Structure 1
Amino acid sequence: MARLLVGLVAIAVAFYVYALVDCLLFARVRVRGLPKVAWVLIVLLFPVIGGVLWFLIGRGRKSAGKQPVYRTVGPDDDPEFLGALRVDPVSEAQLRDLEQALADVDDDPDNKKSDNGRSER
């Protein structure tokens, strides 16, 4: 019987500490019923019953209407991101000229490289 009593006292003390810390750290604007200071005093003066009352009555719930809802938008759905994209400024004629210049460099016999990476002369 003594072990059961010690266990119940340990659970009551843990609940008391948890309720007190929760009451102290809870946002003042979300407290219901009484001012926050009054709830702290109730939890302090009536350890178990004050904690139960705090969780049932005093602790307000999150309300979806007061907090803004943020939505993640992918880049393909974001008009700002899509507006920032622009067409590549290289035209088809410039692209063909670059390809031709690279082909000319590849065909140049003086620019051939050997297997070890050095130019042959």
Structure 2
Amino acid sequence: MPYMGLFLLAIMVLTLIDVIRTDDALVRGLPKVAWVFLVVLIPLVGAIAWVAVGRPAVDDAPRPDPQGGAFPEYDRPGRHVAADPEADRKFLEQVRARAEEQRRKGREQRAAQERAAREQTEPESE
């Protein structure tokens, strides 16, 4: 029976964290403050009501891509949307340029290693 109290406390804390972290505009049913009071005053009923009625319908709503798909290699669900899209675009351009430079150097090194290996295996003609 003492575990029931811990269970209710855990449910209340987890639900309270979820309510607090949810954006005000996405909360359904009641104002956010009312959900907090409901969860604190009646933990189990408040938690069930929050999940059933108050929680946003779609937790991971797609956010608009400020780059418009200009960097598809960096697109992934849940990617943070930059506060300054222009700075983000410049940063991603630098990352892409650095990655391309590293790939180019890697290709050059492999080609040089292959040439060196061929020169060692070819019989010397004199």
Relative to the length of structure 2, the TM-score reads 0.47
Structure with larger Rg: 1
Q: TM-score, normalised by structure 1?
A: 0.49
